[in-house]
Amino acid sequence: MAIAIEFSHIRKSYGDTVIIPDLNLQIEKGEFVTIVGSSGCGKTTALKMINGLYEPTSGDIFVNGENIKNIDMIRLRRSIGYAIQGSVLFPNMTVEENISYVPSLWNKNDKEKTKKAVDKWMEVIGLDSSMKDRYPSELSGGQQQRVGIARALAASPDILLMDEPFGAVDAITREQLQNELKSLHKKTGITILFVTHDIEEALKLGTKVLVLDKGEIEQYDKPSEIVQNPATDFVKKLVEKQRRACNLPDERLRECEYCGAYMLS
């Protein structure tokens, strides 16, 4: 299986404070990796090192087999989609201009091609085309997040980094976005790294779940393994919390979508 991203002896420190001591990980192409761990454990730092926004203190990162030290930063960032929590849209550009920002750089002489790309991604992510001419300030938070995701996808990346992208939306919109992203992943087969604070979301979306604590890997496994065979006490506690989040007594755990599927299967 081809490797999309590899961390090899990655260390990241700020002054004397070590955030990530020695990260070694290979992520296969087409995997949907959800990343969970306590606040401050280094999730955002790990993502930002992949697209060169942060530089590791030492070690190497490979993207599609190429050491990113040897890749031109602009080329690297254009090939990796990046969607983060909250609005990171250009406020003075319309929805259409925001989404077409990267494709229009490539299709300078083919405006029609860019237009088609915008239509396609707006549809995929569930945005009505009537919103094209609106400015970010004229959209709801959830709509802004969709535009942010459409913009990341419009660059046709084969790797998509998402840092708590559904943080600021209500439960129903969040579920819609989760389902859209999941089916998009199935359709396109892109590699996704998705940071979340929500273990339920991590288990639902991930083909693999990466549990980090203090910059170290606690477990990197399929959701069912994470739940059935937690590798450490940290993972056990995380899963236990999820198991108990439904508040059902033991004899009724089967009625919970997650406890039932993962704890008792």
Site for ligand ATP, residues 159 to 178, rule: CB under 6 A: none
Q: Which of 41, 50, 139, 161 contacts ligand ATP by CB under 6 A?
A: 41
Q: Which of 27, 33, 44, 165 contacts ligand ATP by CB under 6 A?
A: 44
> Contact between 45 and ligand ATP (CB under 6 A)?
yes
Q: Which of 34, 44, 104, 242 contacts Mg ion by CB under 5 A?
A: 44
CB nearer to Mg ion: give 34 or 44.
44
Min dist CB 53 to Mg ion, Å, is 12
> Contact between 247 and ligand ATP (CB under 6 A)?
no
> Contact between 196 and Mg ion (CB under 5 A)?
no
CB nearer to ligand ATP: give 56 or 103.
56
Inter-CA distances, 77 with 28, 82, 229, Å: 19, 8, 37
Min dist CB 41 to ligand ATP, Å, is 4
Q: Which of 5, 33, 42, 196 contacts ligand ATP by CB under 6 A?
A: 42
CB nearer to ligand ATP: give 116 or 197.
197
> Contact between 43 and ligand ATP (CB under 6 A)?
yes
Count of chain residues binding Mg ion (CB under 5 A): 1
| Contacts with ligand ATP, residue ranges (CB under 6 A) | 14, 19, 39-45
| Contacts with Mg ion, residue ranges (CB under 5 A) | 44
